Structures are given as C-alpha cells and as structure tokens.
C-alpha cells in the first residue's frame, strides 16, 4: 500500500464563477461582461450564466461530493456576488447569505472549506474605471474586500487563499488573448504581475491583523500553477532559456509569496529591457513582511523550452517569450484533447524544489486532473468509465508520495474537479469532474473515478 500522512487532506477544487452561475449577482465580472458582448467567443456559445447550477443545487451537490470521498473543498467567493458596491465595499446581503449557507452545508457534510478570494473574476467595473490590475488602487480595494470576507466567514473558515493562478491573468488578459480584455501588452503584463503580488501581500496583512484580533488559528496562502521548464538539451543556450522561463512562469509569483523578494536575475533582465515594474521601497517592504503561511500548487503539465530562434536583441515589441521557444519532446505522452503533455515526474521535482529552495513551506496539490472531451463516448450502464482519469491521478500520486517520502512538506491533494464545471472560454469542451454534470438537465452522477476516489480517500492511500 502507498500510504499518505495521517493529516493528509483529500479534496477537490472548483471556483465560484465556474460552478455557481450568475443568479442574483449584483455585479458582472469580466467574463460575464465578455459573454454578454461576444457570446460567440465561447465554445458552443455556452457562457457563465448557469454554469453547474451550484447556486441552486449546493444542498444536493455537496453531499454528492462527500460520497465521492471529498473531505475538503477549495472554492472561491465571487467578489462580484458578495460586494454590492465594489468601490465602497458595501456587501450584498443575498451574497452573504449564500456563502454562509454554502460554508455551513460543507461543514455539516464533513467537508473542510478552503476559500479562495480571486479566481480570475475581477468585477468588470474595476477594469472599466481603473484599468483593473494595472491600478494600485484596485490592490487596496481587493485587500478591503478580502478583509470583509475574513470578518464575515473567518469564524468557520480556517484555510484562506488570496489568488488562484495569478500568472494566468497575465497570459490570458495581457499576452495571449484568451481572457478578456484580450490585450497584447508585455510591459503592462509586467506591471500587473507586480500589482498582483502587492495585492496578495496587502490581503495577507489584513488577514494577520484580523487573526490577531480574533485569536484565530486560521492560515492564509496563495495558489500558483507551477510549470518548471525543462531545457530541450543540456547546451548552455537551452539551459539559459529554461532558466528564464522558470523565473517568469513560476518564480515571479513564488518568490515574493514565500520568500518576500523578486528573483534578482529576473529583475535585472526586465530592468535592462526597460520594462521593469514601478515600485516603491514601502511596497517592497510590505511584500517582504507579508509572506504566506501555506502554498497551493496547481499542476497539470510540464513546460519544455529551447533557445529562441530569433535573438531577444532583435527589434521587436517586448514579450516574455522572446527569451525562449517552446519545445515538443518526441515520443511524449499527451492528453490530446487538451493538448497537454502528461509527465507526472514533474510533481516530484516540484516537491523537491519547495523542500530545498522555499524553506520546506507547508504545501498541497491544490489542482491536478485530466480534462477529456466527448466523455459520453465512455458511458456504460449509465456511468462514465473514466479509467484514463484514474490512471492520471494514480500516476501523479505515486510521484507526490515519492516527494513526501523525501521530506517535502505536502499535506494534501485536491483533484480538479468535483463536478464537471464551466471553464471560461472553453466552456464544457473538456470534462474534469469526478461527478458528471448533464448540463441540459443538471443531473449529476458519480463517474467511475468518483467511486475510486472515495476508496482512495477512505483508505488514505492505494495499492501501488
């Protein structure tokens, strides 16, 4: 048997905007607005209006999650649902009631709440009026919103997280045009990266003040998608490209969150290129003094890179990928539906990196899973036979366990996701859930993986 630590958390992850639907929301987020303006940009024209109907179904959804062995659920509070006036911070009482009821329902069903404060879903008013995360004023508004959440729900929530995958905000909104506002502006992305780190630190500072005042034992962290870059060869130029890619994709958020500083080599490259973010000594001190208690790691696929085919010294607009080209390793195992390589060994490498370079901070796998399209083709006797998902989870857990045995301080594994959920521009193209959602009827049933995960959770391990 492969056994995990006694306090290991077996969970699942989702988010408010991907599960709840827009029922009774006082504000739009950037995705609500984008779908209203251009529904054709979304797969099959399916937007976030209904999502997985969690807003109406949570009282039956949560017990079904418990049946799948989920003992902890990471979801998010929607800023656009909880706060009526996003500039003054006035709360919406319907939103407060909804999240109170959801948290109570989780606890009643033996599921520990892990609550994230931002999952890409900035209220669109803050983008329209202040240019969103380009504005340091918005970082203050975020910290005030976070503090409101601590005050309202902190008595029952012991696990808080500031952001989910802040790097995706850069990639989607400012670099590669897959999230609204679909801009391509490398220097703006650099400033947004800094501001997101600043916003997280400001929220952590608010949390610590709340925690001290209330003598709470709660913790706060952040959720980062880590994709360490492997060089195509051991030649110096490929290694140099991989070093930059790792600094940009991982360390730009990991280092400030855990160590309180930005990577010096990355800062020098950005400064030499004339795109370094604007900062103040006071802000940098605030980031240094407000590091996280715990780290959540989302992992799906590795990154492989090689030296750029065009020199970054060429006359061109600044983008982070001028320093490397992507590399496709021959013979790689792929999730063809998603276009991602499957390489579980990276999870071991992440474990050792956290152990050796980040003070062995307490951490957990906050997302890991396999999305497959047209999953109904695997239906048999009314149950999705998703052996591919079981194998994916099993193989990653083998590598995670190896890292734990080597001393890495990992205390949980959260699969993405509990119930098939809406996924931004891709809508329901790929399904990730342990539980199937027929979006036409909102009928939800356990897949084969849901039954397997229940046994995994109950046994705190599995046969190798």
The catalytic site residues sit at: 165, 367
Cβ atoms within 10 Å of 412's Cβ, excluding its own = 25
Q: Which residues make Cβ contacts (< 8 Å) with residue 440, sequence separation at least 6?
A: none
422 close to 48: Cβ distance less than 8 angstroms: yes
CA torsion 126→129→134→136, rounded to 10°?
Answer: -80
**Three-point CA angle 201, 322, 301, nearest 5°:** 65
Q: Which residues make Cβ contacts (< 8 Å) with residue 341, sequence separation at least 6?
A: 301, 302, 304, 329, 332, 333, 334, 335
In DSSP terms, 94 is beta-bridged to none
Q: Exposure string (b/e) for 13-49, b if CB count within 10 Å is 16 or more?
A: bbbbbbbbbbeebbbbbbbbbbbeeeeeebbeebbbe
CA distances in angstroms from 355 to 219, 389, 406, 447, listed in the order given: 20, 28, 9, 35
**Three-point CA angle 179, 254, 177, nearest 5°:** 15
Half-sphere exposure of 298 (CA within 13 A, CB side): 21
In degrees rounded to 5, what are phi and psi of residue 419?
A: -115, 135
Q: Which residues make Cβ contacts (< 8 Å) with residue 174, sequence separation at least 6?
A: 183, 184, 185, 186, 188, 189, 192
Cis peptide before 177 (omega within 30 of 0): no
Q: Which residues make Cβ contacts (< 8 Å) with residue 463, sequence separation at least 6?
A: 1, 2
In DSSP terms, 9 is beta-bridged to 412
């Amino acid at each position: 048997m492969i056994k995990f630590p006694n306090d290991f958390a077996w969970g699942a992850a989702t988010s408010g905007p991907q599960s709840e639907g827009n029922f009774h929301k006082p504000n739009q987020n950037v995705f609500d607005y984008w779908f209203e303006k251009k529904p054709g940009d979304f797969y099959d024209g399916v937007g976030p209006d209904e999502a997985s109907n969690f807003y109406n179904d949570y009282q039956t959804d949560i017990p079904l999650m418990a049946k799948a062995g989920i003992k902890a659920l990471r979801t998010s509070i929607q800023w656009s649902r909880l706060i009526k006036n996003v500039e003054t911070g006035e709360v919406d009482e319907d939103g407060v009631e909804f999240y109170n009821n959801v948290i109570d329902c989780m606890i009643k069903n033996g599921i520990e709440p892990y609550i994230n404060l931002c999952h890409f879903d900035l209220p669109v008013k803050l983008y329209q009026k202040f240019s969103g995360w380009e504005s340091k004023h918005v970082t203050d508004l975020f910290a005030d919103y976070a503090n409101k959440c601590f005050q309202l729900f902190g008595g029952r929530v012991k696990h808080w997280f500031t952001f989910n995958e802040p790097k995706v905000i850069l990639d989607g909104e400012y670099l590669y045009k897959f999230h609204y506002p679909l801009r391509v502006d490398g220097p703006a992305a650099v400033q947004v990266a800094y501001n997101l780190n600043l916003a997280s630190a400001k929220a952590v500072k608010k949390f610590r003040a709340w925690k001290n005042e209330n003598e709470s034992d709660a913790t706060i962290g952040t959720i980062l998608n880590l994709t360490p870059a492997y060089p195509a060869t051991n030649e110096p130029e490929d290694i140099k490209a991989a070093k930059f890619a790792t600094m940009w994709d991982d360390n730009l958020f990991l280092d400030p969150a855990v160590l309180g500083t930005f990577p010096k080599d990355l800062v020098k490259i950005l400064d030499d290129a004339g795109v370094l973010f604007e900062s103040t000594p006071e802000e940098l001190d605030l980031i240094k003094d407000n590091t996280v208690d715990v780290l959540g790691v989302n992992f799906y696929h590795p990154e492989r890179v090689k030296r750029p085919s065009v020199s970054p010294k060429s006359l061109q607009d600044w983008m982070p990928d001028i320093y490397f080209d992507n590399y496709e390793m021959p013979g790689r195992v792929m999730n063809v539906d998603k276009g991602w390589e499957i390489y579980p060994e990276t999870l071991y490498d992440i474990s050792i990196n956290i152990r050796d370079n980040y003070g062995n901070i307490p951490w957990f796998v906050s997302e890991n899973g396999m999305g497959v399209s047209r999953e109904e083709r695997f239906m048999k006797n009314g149950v999705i036979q998703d052996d591919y998902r079981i194998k994916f989870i099993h193989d990653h857990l083998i590598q995670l366990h190896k890292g734990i045995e080597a001393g890495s301080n990992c205390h949980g594994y959260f699969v993405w996701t509990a119930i098939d959920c809406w996924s931004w521009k891709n809508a329901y193209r790929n399904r990730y859930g342990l539980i199937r959602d027929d979006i036409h009827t909102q009928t939800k049933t356990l897949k084969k993986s849901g039954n397997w995960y229940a046994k995994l959770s109950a046994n705190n391990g599995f046969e190798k």
